[in-house]
Amino acid sequence: MVDKKLDPRVVKTRTNLRKALVYLMQNEKIDSISVQKITETAHITRGTFYLHYKDKKDFVKKAMDEIITEFFDSVMVDSDTLVNGKTVQLMSLNKAFDYIEKNSDIFTILLDRAQNNNFYRQLYSRLTSEMETFIKEMGEDLDDMDVPMKVQVAFTASAMLGLITQWLNNGLIYTAKYMTKTVSRILNRFEATGILLPSFFDDELESGISI
């Protein structure tokens, strides 16, 4: 989410620059996109660009960070059940697939790893970080299934991002609701008794975590 304390003009400038970057990435590799092309497409001056960013590398990283932050701000929800006296943050599958469906033009371009691997790495890093936070908050309530938790996190995050990428590349032939139900079924197959890592993903069809 963009900082609400920022001057609206600053927010508008950064938003236009991000849109310009995504637009240019439709036809060019990110390495070949210059600051001049970005500013011309965004209809701002180079001077204004450098008031906000040190260089193109700084801009690209921050732009992708902002997109990822806005995504997670939109899809993370509190659990219905208290764990150790407090709620934990879950990822709503329904909100996630719905958000990606509505912003499919952006995600299709940014998740094209042949064109740009930076966004995937940043998204993967944020997703694994959220999952690791979930694990810490769950404490002893999370069974490791005799599999190292780092392995479970890596496997689950990679599988989710791979599925999302395939869904986008296939032209969203399935609805967000269908994807939510299907992924929920897949994740439930990994669960035995108690709370396991798939509980991080809330399908919103049930209560999410059950204890």
Per-residue pLDDT tens, the chain, 211 aa: give them.
445 567 888 999 999 999 999 999 999 999 999 999 999 999 999 999 999 999 999 999 999 999 999 999 999 999 877 667 778 899 999 999 999 999 999 999 999 977 778 899 999 999 999 999 988 887 755 655 677 888 888 988 999 999 999 999 999 999 999 999 999 888 877 664 344 566 778 766 443 433 2
Q: Give CA–CA dist 32/60, Å, rounded.
A: 13
Is the same domain home to 99 and 191?
A: yes
Is the same domain home to 27 and 106?
A: no
φ/ψ of residue 142, rounded to 5: -100, 115
Is the same domain home to 31 and 87?
A: no
Q: Give CA–CA dist 43/179, Å, rounded.
A: 38
Is residue 209 situated within a structural domain?
no
Count the domains in the chain: 2
pTM of the full structure: 0.84
Please, are residues 168 and 135 in contact by the beta-carbon 8 Å criterion?
no
Is residue 57 situated within a structural domain?
no
Is the same domain home to 128 and 191?
A: yes
Stretch (H or E) spanning 202: strand 201-202
Is the same domain home to 86 and 23?
A: no
Domain CATH code at residue 46: 1.10.10
Q: Give CA–CA dist 104/97, Å, rounded.
A: 10
Is the same domain home to 22 and 113?
A: no
Is residue 61 situated within a structural domain?
no
210, 194, 209, 80: which is closest to 144 by C-alpha?
Answer: 194
Is the same domain home to 12 and 99?
A: no
3-state secondary structure of 81: coil
Beta strands 76-78 and 201-202 are unpaired
Residue type (1 letter), 203 = D
Q: Domain of 42? A: 8-52
Please, are residues 78 and 138 in contact by the beta-carbon 8 Å criterion?
no
